[in-house]
Amino acid sequence: MNNRKVRILVEGAMAAALALALSYVRIWRMPQGGSITLENVPLFLFTLRWGLKAGLGAGSVAGLLQLILGGYVVHPVQALLDYPMAFSVLGLASLCRRPLWAGLALGALARFLCHVLSGVVFFAAYAPESTNVWIYSAVYNGSFMLPSLVLSVVAIYMIWPRLEKIS
């Protein structure tokens, strides 16, 4: 295995571990799951550095770690949507690096869609009567995903220029 591959594996493991650690530092916690955190930041930084394939892999590992260490599961498909899939799609941020915020928004939007789909299919019972379940799921998930995205964008705009210098 060459140096580049080893570096990607080590940085990916560190990004996944840091994402897991940051998931426990909650700024706000929602009543039926989800919270405002900075857990996306290390995964975004990693995928911006190493690209789509590496970002998808590190995100999957981070999601699996969260699932194993305390995920809430009602169905196997829901577990996949809310954990490994939701975090792996953050790797899509690498597809749009200019402007930087657009890539971050793309990754966060993909994660948001995973959570919305999971909410529609598996958590529709939480929606108030006579409320469209799609709207309920989108509003509920957006209430923590949007602030998390804003915090992530601010943090990454502070960190990224320094990382580019050492790359």
For the chain, 167 residues long, the average pLDDT of each consecutive 10-residue run is: 93 98 94 90 97 98 96 94 98 94 97 96 87 94 96 96 83
Mapping DSSP to helix (H, G, I), strand (E, B) and coil, where does residue 35 land?
strand
- Tokens 């994402």 sit at which residue? 19
Tokens of 11: 């940085």
For the chain, give every domain's residue range: 3-166
**Residues contacting residue 27 through CB under 8 Å, at least 6 positions apart:** 35, 36, 37, 147, 151
* CATH classification number, 3-166, choose in 1.10.1760.20, 3.40.640.10, 3.40.50.150, 1.10.1060.10: 1.10.1760.20
Q: What is the pLDDT of residue 125?
A: 84
- Tokens 């996306």 sit at which residue? 40
Helical H runs in 24-132?
40-50, 52-68, 76-80, 86-88, 100-122
